[in-house]
Amino acid sequence: MRLFRRICIWLFVGMTGLALGILFFLLSATLSQSIKDAALYGKREIAANVSAVREKVQSGEPGGTAVRDVVILHEFRQVFGTDSVLWKEGEEIRNGSPYEFDREELGRRLREEGLRAGEVYVSGVQRVEERFLLVFYQEGAPLGAEGYSLAAYRDVTDIYARARRLFLAGLGFGAVLFCGVGAALYWGVRRTLAPLEELRRASGRMAEGEYGSAIPVTGGDEIGEVTESFNRMAEKIREHMESLEEVNERQRQLLGGLSHEMKTPMTAIIGNAEALLTLRLGDGEREKALFHILHEARRLARLSEKMMEFSRLYENLDSVIVMKGQRIGKVLEQMEALTAFRLAEKRICLKAACVPDGLEKRADEDLLLSLLWNLVENAYKASEPGGSIEVLAEEGKLLVRDFGKGIPPEEICRVTEAFYMVDKSRSRKAGGVGLGLALCSRIAEIHGWSLRIESRVGEGTQVSVLW
């Protein structure tokens, strides 16, 4: 898991940098404070020693300058010990330390610091022969006589040694703490990123066609939200794929049914055309053959029109359907005008009514008219000459009733399938292709309506559109 490794690496690098930064800061602050404390203590010690020398000199027997210089030197050696240097009028008269000090350089630095005679200058830490020293310099030291300058040093090597030991101890403790905290972070990050790994595996399964891959949501954080979104996406993809499979299966059935339905008229057309070309037929026989060719060609044309309309209803409906309020009474009048000539062929009486007169429904005008026309066309085919068809539109439903042969109960559940015909020979004779009720069912589905078919053999059929 590359993301997991990158996060762990950055966490460990960040932890290391933070720990080392804090360690260096604390050690630096401790070392700096220790040096400051040593400098302050050294200045106080020098002031106390100078005062002690001055008191000794002033409390002694009065004498000349030479005697006083001897007393000062003696007392200086007794009080300051071996870690100091004394100058008289710029000349070194006492150096009990193992080091040499440049008085002129120390004087220059004292003046650069803006200090006056009698004030103590403290140098920075100087490294001399593997030792770390603090040098104190006082020009015009009040030892009981004028012209004296002194320097002293404090060895702070032990402070640096302690700092080094603290650094190593802190480094060791940090390493142990780093291992413990690192292990906890490793476990925590791995557990936190586990849903992402599951998402990766699930997306891989989805890429291989397993669209039902769902992941349990383990928390309410951002990863949980991503998991929920992934599950919703997977569900939508699964539904879409099922819908595509259903549409593909329906199209396959439609193509199969279309091929089957085209076979009969094409056979009739080819057979009659071959007869006209190869046989010597009389005028009546030629006319009959041409009539069969024309009849079957028209049936193919109707089949083509129905298939185009049926296919259109499975395309992108947003671009072909316009939903708006439709006055049902007006649509019924249009339907009566369209079917009047067709119904007159069999002297069938159409009784259409709309209750109430101003009934309106939100629908696509062309599809609603196609729905009515196909229902009336099916009723026409099922009716005997001189029969009647009733069409009633009211709140909640639209029904079309005929009084023809009816449909056997075991066939009712299949009459909305494409190309399915109850009486195939009678339907073909009447010009049917088995798509009328399938179209009606699809149109009703688009509008959110449903079809209910009730029929009794020998009594007729009633198709209700529940809206």
Q: Look at residue 391 and tell me if it is in a domain.
A: yes
Q: Do residues 14 and 158 share a domain?
A: yes
pLDDT tens, residue by residue, 122-181: 988 888 888 899 999 999 999 888 899 999 999 999 999 998 898 888 888 888 888 888
User: Among residues 360, 371, 366, which one has the least CA distance to residue 321?
Assistant: 366
pLDDT tens, residue by residue, 282-308: 888 888 888 878 877 876 776 676 667
CB 389 within 8 A of CB 402: yes
pLDDT tens, residue by residue, 183-197: 888 888 777 777 777
Q: For residue 188, what are the CA distances in angstroms to 45, 144, 194, 201?
A: 57, 74, 10, 20
Q: Look at residue 213 and tell me if it is in a domain.
A: no
Q: Do residues 16 and 159 share a domain?
A: yes
Per the structure, the count of domains in the chain is 3
C-alpha–C-alpha distance, residues 278 and 272, integer Å: 10
Q: What is the pTM of this model?
A: 0.45
Q: Look at residue 197 and tell me if it is in a domain.
A: no
Q: For residue 390, what are the CA distances in angstroms to 123, 335, 342, 358, 460?
A: 119, 13, 15, 19, 11
Q: What is the mean pLDDT of residues 10-34?
A: 86
The CATH number that applies at residue 64 is 3.30.450
Q: Do residues 147 and 98 share a domain?
A: yes
Q: Do residues 7 and 156 share a domain?
A: yes
Q: Do residues 295 and 359 share a domain?
A: no
Q: Do residues 456 and 367 share a domain?
A: yes
Which residues contact residue 118 at a Cβ distance below 8 angstroms, ignoring those fewer than 6 apart? 138, 139, 140, 141, 142
Q: Look at residue 208 and tell me if it is in a domain.
A: no
Q: Do residues 277 and 370 share a domain?
A: no
The CATH number that applies at residue 381 is 3.30.565.10
pLDDT tens, residue by residue, 322-362: 789 999 999 999 888 878 878 888 999 999 999 988 899 99
Q: Do residues 14 and 126 share a domain?
A: yes
> At 52, is the secondary structure helix, strand, or coil?
helix
Which of 124, 147, 163 is a domain's end point? 163
Q: Do residues 239 and 347 share a domain?
A: no
Q: Look at residue 237 and tell me if it is in a domain.
A: yes
Q: Do residues 11 and 90 share a domain?
A: yes
pLDDT tens, residue by residue, 380-435: 988 999 999 999 999 989 999 999 988 888 888 888 876 676 554 444 444 444 66
Q: Do residues 334 and 284 share a domain?
A: no
- Tokens at 373, concatenated: 């026309």
Identify the domain containing residue 421 by its residue range.
321-466
Q: Do residues 458 and 335 share a domain?
A: yes
